[in-house]
C-alpha cells in the first residue's frame, strides 16, 4: 500500500544609480513577499491553482510555474501551498515539501489533506512518531476520515507501532475502506493483530 544568487553592489554605486536615474524602480515581488491586503488576489490564485492541478501529471514544470504565480497572487492560498508540496514530494525534496504542507496546514485548519501529505513526507524522512502525530492531527480536524484512518493504520503496522486503537482503525477500514483492496488488507491485518500475544 502504498537559491537564488544575490548580487551586491557597492553602496557608492547604488547611490550613483539612484541619483542618475532620478527615481527608484518598483521592487519586484515574489510569492513569499508579505502582500498587503490590497495586493492579494484570491480569485486569481484559485484559477491558477485549478489550472496547475489539471496539468500536474503531464507537465510538472508548468504546474509549478502556475502554483508559484498563484502564490504571488495570494500568498495565503492554502491549496496552492499543498499542491506545490505535492510536486516537491514527488521529486524527493522532503524539506521543501514539508514546508509547503505546514503552510497549507495552517491556512486550511479544518482540512485533513495537508496533514496527511505531511505525514507521508515525515514517514519518508524516517520521522515515524511525527508522521503518526500528523495522521492523528488529520483525524482530530476531520474525525472518521477514511483516508486518514487508512494512513494511520498503515503507518502503525508498517513500523511496528500498534497500540490500543489499531484494532478499531482496522475495523473501520473493513467497514468503510476506500477500496476493496484496503478492506482486504485491513481484514488480513486484523487477523494478524488478533493473533499477537
The three-state secondary structure class of 130 is helix
pTM equals: 0.78
The residue whose grid cell reads 476531520 is 142
Answer whether residue 98 shows pLDDT above 50: yes
Q: By percentage, how much of the chain surpasses pLDDT 70?
A: 80
**Cell triple for 34:** 508579505
**Cell triple for 22:** 532620478
Domain count, the chain: 2
Residue 123 contacts residue 91 (beta carbons within 8 Å): no
Answer whether residue 28 shows pLDDT above 70: no
The enclosing domain of 94 has a CATH number of: 1.25.40.10
Determine the Cα–Cα distance for residues 194 and 173; give it in Å rounded to an integer.
16
Asked if residue 119 and residue 74 are part of one domain, the reply reads yes
Calculate helix-pair angle for 94-107, 78-90, nearest 10 degrees.
Answer: 160
Determine the Cα–Cα distance for residues 114 and 104; give it in Å rounded to an integer.
6
* Cα→Cα distances 36→11, 27, 73, Å: 29, 14, 11
**Cell triple for 42:** 484570491
| pLDDT 10s digits, 128-167 | 999 999 999 999 999 999 999 999 999 999 999 999 999 9
Asked if residue 137 and residue 59 are part of one domain, the reply reads yes
Range of the domain at 169: 144-197
Residue 20 lies in a domain: no
How would you label 59-77 residue by residue, b for 16+ Cβ within 10 Å and e otherwise? eeeebbebbbbbbbbbbeb
Asked if residue 152 and residue 138 are part of one domain, the reply reads no
Answer whether residue 21 shows pLDDT above 60: no
Asked if residue 63 and residue 139 are part of one domain, the reply reads yes
* Cα→Cα distances 34→26, 39, 74, 84, 166, Å: 15, 10, 9, 18, 43
Residue 33 lies in a domain: no
Residue 152 lies in a domain: yes
Amino acid at each position: 500500500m502504498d537559491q537564488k544568487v544575490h548580487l551586491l553592489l557597492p553602496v557608492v554605486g547604488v547611490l550613483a544609480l539612484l541619483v542618475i536615474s532620478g527615481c527608484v524602480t518598483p521592487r519586484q515581488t515574489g510569492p513569499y513577499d508579505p502582500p498587503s491586503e490590497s495586493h492579494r488576489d484570491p480569485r486569481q490564485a484559485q484559477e491558477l491553482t485549478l489550472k496547475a492541478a489539471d496539468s500536474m501529471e503531464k507537465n510538472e514544470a508548468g504546474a509549478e510555474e502556475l502554483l508559484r504565480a498563484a502564490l504571488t497572487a495570494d500568498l495565503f492560498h492554502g491549496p496552492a501551498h499543498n499542491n506545490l508540496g505535492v510536486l516537491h514530494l514527488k521529486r524527493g525534496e522532503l524539506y521543501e515539501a514539508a514546508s509547503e504542507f505546514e503552510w497549507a496546514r495552517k491556512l486550511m485548519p479544518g482540512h485533513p489533506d495537508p496533514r496527511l501529505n505531511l505525514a507521508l513526507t515525515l514517514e519518508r524522512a524516517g520521522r515515524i512518531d511525527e508522521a503518526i502525530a500528523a495522521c492523528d492531527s488529520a483525524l482530530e480536524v476531520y474525525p472518521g476520515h477514511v483516508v486518514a484512518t487508512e494512513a494511520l493504520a498503515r503507518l502503525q503496522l508498517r513500523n511496528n507501532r500498534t497500540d490500543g486503537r489499531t484494532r478499531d482503525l482496522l475495523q473501520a477500514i473493513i467497514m468503510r475502506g476506500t477500496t476493496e483492496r484496503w478492506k482486504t488488507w485491513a481484514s488480513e491485518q486484523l487477523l494478524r493483530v488478533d493473533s499477537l500475544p
